[in-house]
Amino acid sequence: MSRTSGETSTEPRYGTVYLVGSGPGDDGLLTLRAAELLARADVVVYDYLVDSSILARCAKTARRIDVGKRPNRPTNQDEINELLVGLAAQHEVVVRLKGGDPFVFGRGGEEAEVLLTRGVPFVVVPGVSSAIAVPAYGGTPVTHRGESSGFVVVTGHAQRGGHLDLNWNALCGLDMTIVVLMGVAHRAEIASELQAAGMDPATPVLAVTWGTTPRQSTVRTTLSALGDSEIQSPAVLVIGGSAGVELDWFSPPELAGLRVVVTRGDAEEDRLARGLRALGAEIISCPMFEIVEPSDGGRALERAIATVSSYDWIIFSSVNAVKRFLGRVDDLRALGSTKVAAIGRSTAREVERFRVGVDLVPPEAVGESLAELFPAGPGRVLFPRAEVAREVVPTALRTKGWEVDVVGAYRNSPVQLGPDEIDERVYDPEVVVTFTSASSVHSFVSSYDPSLVRGTIAVIGPITKAAAEAEGLAVTIEAKTHDNEGLVEAIRAWCSDHSSLNLARAPGL
């Protein structure tokens, strides 16, 4: 890392602070540069409006610091500035993650000034501004031929609860679309001042709350009715100009408003979370174990890889086993004529991602189904799997005449949470809590009190269901096909059968 010119050996060495815009909310609108930086950041300092799906892109080793300003929780900007300087002295890559664009009412300019003065290297990564994206998602372009040839963006936030310091006459005289950020609390004042400055009371107004996210809702009204309209924060107000243009195209996805607790902490979590997010669900990530090297450091796995061609079959029972094994095979020709069996569609697809064919996939994603379908021996079978797992497959195959070598490819290391790490949202009656293995159930109840869990329990299959019920958790949803896709479909079907949930307006969203 280079130092600033003229510094001495006693001056601090700083990493780089990246002032990153996270966009308006939808993680699909995150820039490629922002996603790349989140994946390698040492620490991420983020604001209140940064969506959880975007934070999920952070490296698992990244430290996350919430400095979001919200009601009853003010955050001093000077303290944030000092925090960034201090973190840059400790880390190579510091991401300061802001909603929208960092230089559009994000106080990114102030932070950049401090960093520049203190000799801290920084880079600005612009984001998609909510001033443009949110109206677009609400069905209104900020410029439109015949309606508005330009737009102006103003803040609706006043210092210390005072009045807005805006040139109302100038705003009216522009004859452009007015976009107001952070203006919900002052909407009555905004309407009154604009009318006093000569704007027609019948001027159309669009308000978009939680724009670009599954929680999005819109209100179309007029300037005279704006003050009395029911509008929730955070919202973008669009006044006059093209605000009357209605090109409504966005509709909340099927599971909009549903919050789902995902208790895995590995590649499988990503698959489950992605499937649910695609349907609009909000994910509460609550990893109860992490994937680590086996006890022997992977030596037995390396030996098995070196001799894989001597086996007639290799069996994969999880995505993690596939990654740990095939990810270490330098030349796939080493597999020779070895046949491959995979338990579950997700596992089979992961095998195919390595350009390896799958010869056998049982109809149900459980060991019993594979054992029943597997041909009779003799021969040799290699079974790389979690270090601690059920013995159903090895036992059944040995009775069929096979020599089975079980190799630990990884360990599920339980996560024990301290009192300050407990996520109270897990106890909310509105959430769906998911479990995809018995081990995730056991780890969960070691940190969370099952008697306090009031939400809906969803499990991937009968083995996980039995483990959950043994711990006192009443299971409501069970996947018909025992994989992540099946669990997503089961949750979707359950929500469809319970249409009275009114998900898009679920409490607390």
Give dist(CA 130, CA 127) in Å, integer: 9
In a domain, 4, yes or no: no
Kindly report whether the peptide bond that precedes residue 429 is cis, defined as omega within 30 degrees of 0: no
Is the confidence at residue 195, as pLDDT, over 60?
Answer: yes
In a domain, 1, yes or no: no
Give dist(CA 459, CA 449) in Å, integer: 18
Answer yes or no: 339 catalytic.
no
Domain containing 271 equals 259-288+416-505
Inter-helix orientation angle 299-306/319-326, to 10°:
70
- The percent of residues in the chain predicted with pLDDT above 70, rounded, is 93
Q: Are residues 98 and 148 in the same domain?
A: no
How confident is the model over 70-98, as a mean pLDDT? 87
Q: Are residues 284 and 432 in the same domain?
A: yes
Q: Which of 66, 69, 312, 423 is catalytic?
A: 69
181: number of Cβ within 10 Å: 23
Cβ neighbourhood burial of 275 (10 Å; 0-12, 13-18, 19+):
middle
Reference 259, options 232, 279, 230; nearest CA is 279
In a domain, 397, yes or no: yes
In a domain, 393, yes or no: yes
- State the pLDDT at residue 214: 85
- The model's pLDDT over 429-483, given as tens digits with 9 standing for 90+, comes to 999 999 988 888 998 998 899 999 999 999 998 999 999 999 999 999 999 988 8
In a domain, 93, yes or no: yes
3-state class (DSSP) for residue 494: helix
How confident is the model over 270-291, as a mean pLDDT? 84
CATH number at residue 315: 3.40.50.10090
Residues ≥6 apart with Cβ < 8 Å to 161: none
- State the pLDDT at residue 498: 78
Q: Are residues 48 and 149 in the same domain?
A: no
- State the pLDDT at residue 428: 93
Answer yes or no: 182 catalytic.
yes
Higher pLDDT residue, 155 or 72?
155
Q: Which of 51, 101, 182, 405 is catalytic?
A: 182
- State the pLDDT at residue 70: 59
- State the pLDDT at residue 335: 93
**pLDDT band (50, 70, 90) for residue 7:** very low
Q: Are residues 308 and 234 in the same domain?
A: no
Higher pLDDT residue, 291 or 471?
471
**pLDDT band (50, 70, 90) for residue 4:** very low
- State the pLDDT at residue 496: 86
3-state class (DSSP) for residue 206: strand
**pLDDT band (50, 70, 90) for residue 399:** very high
**pLDDT band (50, 70, 90) for residue 111:** very high
Q: Are residues 109 and 148 in the same domain?
A: no
In a domain, 9, yes or no: no
- The model's pLDDT over 147-175, given as tens digits with 9 standing for 90+, comes to 999 999 999 987 766 789 899 999 998 88
39: number of Cβ within 10 Å: 11
CATH number at residue 211: 3.30.950.10
- State the pLDDT at residue 61: 85
Mean pLDDT value across the chain: 89
Answer yes or no: 69 catalytic.
yes
- State the pLDDT at residue 280: 87
Is the confidence at residue 228, as pLDDT, over 50?
Answer: yes
Task: Look at the pTM and tell me if it is higher than 0.75.
Answer: no
List the structure tokens of 406.
């079980």
Chain centroid, CA 367 distance in Å = 31
